[in-house]
Amino acid sequence: MFKDYDFMVCPTFPTLPFKIDDNMSPVEAYQADLFTIPANMVGSPSISLPMPAGLDGLSVGIEFTGKRFKDKDLIQASLAFERSLNK
């Protein structure tokens, strides 16, 4: 995948944010990590950034994953994206 693209961008979690007092089953907890596990398994650098809060007042995260050993490129791209949100 990274032969054609420098980064993969996806939501940090596959669902809307859960509330602090929600009790998640072990299966639900595992499913909440589905988008973060692949980067960890293959050793790719990854960073999650908060997005502006939605209509419900809850913020979601966006995850950037980059090429192995290209951590600096990932940090620079993430910083540029974060700065674009604050304009």
- pLDDT at 66 > cutoff 90: yes
36-52 pLDDT, tens per residue?
A: 888 889 999 999 998 88
Distance CA 14, CA 28 (A): 11
- What is the count of structural domains for the chain? 1
Assess if residue 2 is contained within a domain. no
Assess if residue 11 is contained within a domain. yes
Domain that holds residue 56: 7-86
> Which residues, including other chains, have CB under 8 Å from residue 23's CB and lie 6 or more apart?
none
Strand partners, 11: 62
3 state SS of 72: helix
Assess if residue 30 is contained within a domain. yes
| pLDDT at residue number 1 | 67
Assess if residue 1 is contained within a domain. no
Mean pLDDT of 23-40: 86
What's the predicted TM-score (pTM) here? Answer: 0.80
| pLDDT at residue number 10 | 92
Assess if residue 40 is contained within a domain. yes
